[in-house]
Structure 1
Amino acid sequence: MARLTDTRVAALKPPAVGQAEYPDDLVTGLRLRIGAGGRKAWIVRTRAGTKVLNKTLGTYPTLGVGKAREEARRFLEDLATTGTPRVNRTFGQLAEDWLDKVAKPNNRSWQLQKRRLEIHVLPKWGDRKLDTIRRADVRELIESIEGEVSPNRNLTLIRTLLRYAVSRDWIESSPAEAIAKPKIENPRDRVLEMDEVRRVYVGADLLGYPAGGFIKMLLLTAQRRTEVAEMRWDQIDLDAGVWVIPSESAKSGRPHLVPLSALAVRLLRSVPRLGDYVWTSDGNSPISGFAKLKQRLDAFLAASGGALQPWVLHDLRRTAATHMVRLGVTETIVGRVLNHAVQGITARVYALHSYAPEKREALDRWAADVHREMEGCSPLSISGSAHPR
């Protein structure tokens, strides 16, 4: 038969019934299988002792002819050398194995590492075969991560996992080793003016659910991006107006009580309940893809009145904190709202409910100021009273 090429494979028609197979003349055992439905799959058929093995390598055109031959040769070489074909694991399988066998037994902060993977890495690489990850892929992923310390920490985490994969002989070398750490920036001091806050808050509506509500909740609560992303309905009491971030979700490692303003409660009552997470696209996992989300928002803002000066999502937290100080809230109380580290045994033990009334007053003042900027109306009434500007 004629040699298999990408052009010829693309032109092959499916059989009327059953399956048809086309052997490759360069790699013994490699075959293209075409089903009646039109699916074209690469398989390797060979013997291991008395058993006949049929290994599916992938589908065409995702796996082209040249790549299929490389995969087939690697499979056959591993089988000849060790007697056991290598399992080409995905990054998601690597992460699961590493978390179970290394992180959980040895690292008290493994849940934070798991969350970083779920937020930043697995949405892009969860189904990615380990041996297809290249240095450029690592660089692109790290550069897409927004924040002041997250890129470096995520690079370190990715390196750790890929080194583990090397130690298990799942890959021959790690593509993350030659990646330089992102330049450590000076601490950001970007604070959005209230006119910018208004534009972001209004523009968020154009994103729809869940992204629009997520952006608004970042502003109204001043909590960290990953904490708001993982907000769950069972953590919230809308009647009492409180959200308790559990210790495993809080960066500080301790539970944190966040009073919810009337504006925040109103927002939460307006969103659909699609699953355990408040902000979810599929009902099963928290919102992710923050870089694309912000790009969409920036495009809306640029089209509706001109682009904002450069900003990142983390700036919303700093913005809320700065304006709370402007509104007369002490830095100590703002620190409690932000869940910054507290000193002393008593402070740590009773941190959940300490300063709860003061934190509520601070977030209510901030919500009232946002409301005034949004609608140009009188201060938002909170619990029957208005806060001074």
Structure 2
Amino acid sequence: MARIKLTNGRVGDFACPPDKLQAFLWDTEVWWLAVRAQPGGTKTYVFQARFNGSDVRVKIGDVRAWNLDDARAEARRMQTLIDKGIDPRDEKRERIAAAESKKADAKRLDMLVGDAWDAYIKHHERRWGERHLADHRRLSQTGGEPWKRGKRVTVQGVLYPLLQLKMREVTATALHDWQVEEVKTRANNARQGFELFRAFWRWCASRPEYADVVDLTTVENRDVRAEVPRRKTKRFDVLERAHLASWFAAVRGLSNPVIGAYLQGLLLTGCRREELAELKWSDVDFRWGSMWVKDKVEADGRKIPLTPYLRSLISALPRRNAWVFSSPTAADGRIMEPRIPHNRALAVAGLDHVTLHGLRRTFASLAEWVEMPTGVVAQIMGHKPNATAERHYINRPLELLAVWHTKYESWILEQAGIEQPGQDAGERLKVVG
């Protein structure tokens, strides 16, 4: 084992012989320090000593990065660890791990809310419905993008300002100020945005990569929640019996008959908005008076009656493509935003605001006027059955559903002052080229 007092010159001149894989030049000043040379010119300072009866060798670093005095000091430090019964290899691993942990902590502290939000969306997008996913994207959008139609541009989403913050900057004060500002111009979006953000923040708190920088109490803060507008009670998001004549007159007077038929269909079937919007001609059976609609409870969907008046509405629609409620201007070929014409119809009728989902609630509410059994209402609407008997024994045939459903439709038309259609209201499809 060659030993010599190391100098910068000797370290620089030392090289690995061509017939060896490595060579060592040991220092006489610090007994445990050596320069290791390898083929190709790589040279490193190493520490070697005995620990618990075995040789321990630890790399100190490249000679280009370490000067000789620092390498000697590091070798002495490692020997003091051995004198204390500490393996310098373990100590080095712990130092590296601590440094990596500190680096990761710093990275987490600088992490943007928007990055975590993107991960949240990616994690859930396959499980969420189309509408729910669209709400998340709409409320977090940058804004300023041109609309598909017209000269308008999209509006910045209510959540966008929060997504620009660092995770550690999301405090109760920040949420309070954000909510106060957004409520001034778009109260409903502010409420919905807070609800979506709270669910997202709770998810972050459950994830190990975010838990250390998420303060879950911020979304539960009393002062923050006090600024969130209350959701309009569902009790008022329905049409009453006295509203029917005005509502039907306004909806039937819309310039777009497809939208008019769709809105009436929501009230007459109790379907969810996307269930009816995604109805295809292949789902409608005019011969047997039925139609298949998508269902979030049953994977195969559900079959419901095609009542006489609804049959007449659908059969009068143009058959432009596969969709019953088609749109020649929409990218997907079907109606996408019937909410706006519905709001116009409500204004014409002089009625308070009712959402599209409120029309579904209206079906359940007004069905009581004809004493429709609760189980029939649930089966038509696609609700999960509640009682054990409903879940396991009762599966009503379409004919029985049609008896009650037709009775309901007939009563609705009577209240609206609309002439009852004949039972043989036929299929009158218009193919549009």
Contact residue 277 and residue 283 of structure 1 kept, 8 A:
no
Match of 1:363 in 2: 405
Task: Return 285-294 or 261-270, whichever deviates more.
Answer: 285-294
Match of 1:53 in 2: none
Equivalent positions of 1:163-202 (< 5 A) are 180=225, 182-183=229-230, 186-188=233-235, 191-202=238-249
Where 1:342 maps in the other structure, the secondary structure is coil
TM-superposed CA distance for 1:219, in Å, is 1.1
Q: CA RMSD for the aligned pairs?
A: 4.8
TM-superposed CA distance for 1:90, in Å, is 11
Residue 286 (structure 2) aligned to one of 224, 238, 258 = 238
Where 1:308 maps in the other structure, the secondary structure is coil
Where 2:292 maps in the other structure, the secondary structure is strand
Cα deviation code 1:261-281 (max 9, x no counterpart): 121122112223444443354
Residue 322 (structure 1) aligned to one of 342, 365, 368 = 365
Contact residue 323 and residue 333 of structure 2 kept, 8 A:
yes
Report the residue type matching 1:116 in the other structure: H
Where 1:381 maps in the other structure, the secondary structure is coil
TM-superposed CA distance for 1:284, in Å, is 0.3
Match of 1:42 in 2: none
Match of 1:272 in 2: 318
Match of 1:382 in 2: 423
Match of 1:203 in 2: 250
Closer/same/farther in 2, CA of residues 90 and 243 from structure 1, 3 Å limit: farther
TM-superposed CA distance for 1:201, in Å, is 1.8
Contact residue 364 and residue 382 of structure 1 kept, 8 A:
no
CA distance in 2, matches of 1:142, 1:290: 21
Match of 1:257 in 2: 303
Closer/same/farther in 2, CA of residues 309 and 329 from structure 1, 3 Å limit: same
Cα deviation code 1:45-95 (max 9, x no counterpart): xxxxxxxxxxxxxxxxxxxxxxxxxxxxxxxxxxxxxxxxxxxx999xx87
Residue 131 (structure 2) aligned to one of 104, 110, 115 = 115
Contact residue 207 and residue 296 of structure 1 kept, 8 A:
no
Match of 1:225 in 2: 273
Where 2:235 maps in the other structure, the secondary structure is coil
Report the residue type matching 2:340 in the other structure: K
TM-superposed CA distance for 1:349, in Å, is 7.4
Task: Return 214-223 or 193-202, whichever deviates more.
Answer: 193-202
CA distance in 1, matches of 2:332, 2:236: 35
Gaps of 5+ in 2: 1-113, 144-155, 163-177, 211-217, 426-433
* Greater Rg by CA: 2
Contact residue 145 and residue 151 of structure 1 kept, 8 A:
yes
TM-superposed CA distance for 1:321, in Å, is 2.7
CA distance in 1, matches of 2:190, 2:256: 23
Closer/same/farther in 2, CA of residues 323 and 101 from structure 1, 3 Å limit: closer
Closer/same/farther in 2, CA of residues 159 and 187 from structure 1, 3 Å limit: same
Cα deviation code 1:268-308 (max 9, x no counterpart): 1222344444335415065444553433222222xxxxx22
Contact residue 222 and residue 317 of structure 1 kept, 8 A:
yes
Where 1:257 maps in the other structure, the secondary structure is strand
Task: Return 365-374 or 213-222, whichever deviates more.
Answer: 365-374
Equivalent positions of 1:344-363 (< 5 A) are 348=391, 354-363=396-405
Closer/same/farther in 2, CA of residues 121 and 325 from structure 1, 3 Å limit: same
Cα deviation code 1:193-252 (max 9, x no counterpart): 4441122122113151543222111111112233223333343323332222234xx256
Closer/same/farther in 2, CA of residues 240 and 350 from structure 1, 3 Å limit: farther
Contact residue 368 and residue 380 of structure 1 kept, 8 A:
no
How many residues are paired up?
Answer: 275
User: Quick check: 1:311 aligned with 2:354?
Assistant: yes
Give the TM-score normalised by structure 2: 0.48
Equivalent positions of 1:18-33 (< 5 A) are none
Match of 2:347 in 1: 299
Contact residue 182 and residue 190 of structure 2 kept, 8 A:
no
Closer/same/farther in 2, CA of residues 308 and 189 from structure 1, 3 Å limit: closer
CA distance in 1, matches of 2:236, 2:142: 37
TM-superposed CA distance for 1:184, in Å, is 5.2
